Amino acid sequence: MDGTLRPALDVQRIRQDFPILSTKVHGKPLVFLDSGASAQKPRAVIDAMRAMFETSYANVHRGAYHLSEASTAAYEAAREAVARFLNARDAREVVFTSNSTAAINLVAHSYGRGVMKPGQAVVVSEMEHHANFVPWQMLAQSHGIALRIANVTDAGELDMADLEAKLADGKVGLVAVTHMSNVLGTVTPAARIAALAHAHGAKVLFDGSQAAVHRRVDMQALDADFYVFTGHKLYGPTGIGVLWGRLELLDAMPPFLGGGDMISEVTREGFRPAPVPAKFEAGTPPIVEAVGLHAAIDYVSAIGMEAIEAHERALVDHAMTKLSAIEDLTVIGRAQDRGGVFSFALGNAHAHDLSTLLDRVGIAVRAGRHCAEPLHVRIGHDSTCRASFGLYTTHEEVDFLAEALTSARRFFS
């Protein structure tokens, strides 16, 4: 060792794996800072899905011929890969859905209506994505379940004292909170939340749509009861998401959707559901998408989640320094533990106008309320711009964003 500080990963080499990053936007090199909405795809994912379509596609679980057996094996191998990725005890705890939203709705319907009792409560937080807010509002409206909303501090962190107060009466059946905010970048203390919920007799669900991309998540260490994430943010395809749940909880939950492949037996009088996970996977599943997700998991696992986290921590520190130095720019949220998501407002400029101006120089950022309207009310902003990082994001791109924002300030003033 020569004592030189080396990067956590070779970003420039990694960028070569993503064909779209060579794209020009308005004649400018693409600076893609919207990975929090949907990440770009490496060649390994694209090739795996193409190969599946070209050489081994057939429906799964139903055909007694070679292609169907090969397709079924690939689909179930993806389930095993997810189980390893999450350090799940049993691959049967992995249920494939279409995305995180579908996974949360599955829990809200099957656990909320099928296991929880009227008079119990669900606790969410102010910083939740609508996907982890609206399903519980719907449950509250239809099933007599109370909805309690835990506060967020001015720094953008979950108010743990308020969460404990919401749990104090022992009526909470489920705590459903984000593992990492898609607006603030805040990483919540998941293991501490789970311990607090369990101490008050509640189960806990984490929305890991952002967190599973940026750092290692371990179901045994978190002691979660349910965990969800989505493939398209983890450099995989759209159309596939994951619900992980404790096997005993999934066993106790009724099916969410009825149809083919989720049954053991159907008669004129009724049906008997299949064991988990098939019980929750009615109809033809996302077969090729599962193969793509498997390839994405293999891709990030080969790089190493620890290396990805170290790279993004360095990016976060760099971005906080650069963005905080820009006059009239407000960075939303100052959590001590945060991932690569930065929402900001520039003076009186509307977020959509600012986003359009940045697009003109090739920078892709998100503008709006980011499917988190209650949080925007809490922080006092009608809308914000959001830059979100991926494993392919560079320090130079952060510098370019800061330069473009400085120019935009002059333009809007």
In Å, what is the CA distance from 111 to each residue of 104, 107, 226, 334, 402? 10, 5, 10, 34, 45
Give the residue among 127, 130, 77, 68 at the shortest CA–CA distance from 99: 130
Beta pairing class for 203-207 and 172-178: parallel
Give the residue among 305, 36, 30 at the shortest CA–CA distance from 181: 36
As a whole number of angstroms, the longest Cα–Cα distance in the chain is 75
Residue 345 is classified by DSSP as E
In Å, what is the CA distance from 397 to each residue of 11, 16, 68, 322, 324? 12, 16, 45, 11, 16
Give the residue among 301, 331, 328, 330 at the shortest CA–CA distance from 410: 328
Q: How far apart are CA 279 and CA 285, in angstroms?
A: 12
Residues that are catalytic: 371
Name 27's Cβ contacts closer than 8 Å, sequence gap at least 6: none
**Residue that has been written with the tokens 């080396």 in this structure:** 6
